[in-house]
Amino acid sequence: MDPLSDVLSLLQPKSAISAGLDAGGEWAIRFPPHEGIKFNAVMRGACWVQVDGEPDPRRIEAGDCFLLTRGRPFLFATDLALPPIESPTIYDQAVDGIATCNDGGDFFLIGGRFSFEGDHAGMLFGSLPAIVHVRDASNQAAVLRWSLEQLAAELKDRPPGGMLMAEHLAQIMLLQVLRLWLASATDKPAGWLSALSNPRLTRVLGAMHAEPARHWTLAELGAIAGMSRSTFAARFREAVGQPPLDYLIRWRMVLAAERLKRTNDSVGAIGFSIGYESEAAFSTTFRRVVGCAPGRFRRDDAP
């Protein structure tokens, strides 16, 4: 698999549909903190989105999709100067999954929330902005809107196989948003996800993910990128935020943590599978990166 698929597979995204919002006239609604990642698509009308701690609001229009990645409180409003109502005021009265504000009619939004079973969501979302905004500028955005509408239908009507379909739709939507962000964002913060917009670095990440146990050298990785060793090391660090071999160690520990949690394999066998010739060497590295010994990590994570 490619690096993005690798990480999404470890995170095992699960979807949950939120009530749609049908609003009319002028309004402002404040929402509390949330777990996971919020996904929304505006089907009619337009509004402002303001996330706590972010200096600039974002104008969202019909056909746009967006992720809210930080779990912070946020505001939807036609006019940011209006005194907001709290979201439970209308969402607790939702009928057939639709919350109505001011009798509705002018604005309609449908939203979902993604939670993750894996413990490494920060690896995927840590480099994303608080609002990942996808404008209605491509066929891919249309795919996103269709996917969310289909997700709502699957979870509301519960046809045979509906939950499995919903989980796959969630992954499709996440992938489409992330692809569009990678293709269109200009000032990407450092992070491995940002590096996926660089084809040369993508090849390197793919090689490390494909063979995490290999004793890679900077020269070998630079050759895959088509760069000199020094140029590659500098470009990788600038894009990802850490040196190439540090990233490799971190990825190994992510894989080890998942196996410690989900299998009964011995600590030594797990360490050997990701390139460590002794249990002691693996345990030392795991403790340094994760913050505790492998055995303790497994015990603490046990039900």
pTM, whole model, 2 decimals?
A: 0.77
* Distance separating alpha carbons of residues 106 and 38, to the nearest angstrom: 22
Instruction: Extract the tokens encoding 205.
Output: 């990440």
Whether 111 and 20 have beta carbons less than 8 Å apart is answered as: yes
Residue 14: beta bridge partners? 115
Residue 285, pLDDT > 70, answer yes
* Distance separating alpha carbons of residues 220 and 145, to the nearest angstrom: 42
* Distance separating alpha carbons of residues 26 and 79, to the nearest angstrom: 7
The length of the chain is 303
Q: At 67, which amino acid appears? A: L
42-61 average pLDDT score: 94
Burial class of residue 107 in the structure, from the number of CB atoms within 10 Å of its CB (0-12 exposed, 13-18 middle, 19+ buried): buried
Q: Are strands 85-86 and 28-31 parallel, antiparallel or unpaired?
A: parallel
- pLDDT (tens digit per residue) in 164-184: 777 777 777 778 888 887 777
- pLDDT (tens digit per residue) in 90-135: 999 988 778 999 999 999 998 878 887 666 677 777 778 889 888 8
Residue 226, C-beta contacts closer than 8 angstroms, at least 6 positions apart: 200
Residue 217, pLDDT > 80, answer yes
Strands of the sheet with 85-86, listed across from one edge: 58-61, 46-51, 74-77, 28-31, 85-86
* Distance separating alpha carbons of residues 219 and 288, to the nearest angstrom: 26
Task: List the one residue out of 92, 116, 128 whose CA is nearest residue 19.
Answer: 92
Helix 229-240 × helix 244-262 angle, to 10°: 60
Backbone angles phi, psi at 72, to 5 degrees: -85, 160
Whether 25 and 102 have beta carbons less than 8 Å apart is answered as: yes
CA-CA distances (angstroms) from residue 35 to 30, 38, 72, 89, 116? 16, 8, 9, 20, 10
* Distance separating alpha carbons of residues 27 and 101, to the nearest angstrom: 8
**pLDDT for residue 55:** 92
**pLDDT for residue 119:** 63
Which residue is it, tokens 């590096």?
195
- pLDDT (tens digit per residue) in 60-97: 999 888 899 989 999 999 999 999 999 999 999 988 77
| % of the chain with per-residue pLDDT over 70 | 92
Kindly tell me the sign of the dihedral angle through the C-alpha atoms of 292, 246, 271, 277. negative
- pLDDT (tens digit per residue) in 10-32: 777 776 666 789 999 999 999 99
Instruction: Identify the structural domains of the chain with CATH numbers, from first to last.
Output: 3-184 (2.60.120.280), 194-301 (1.10.10.60)
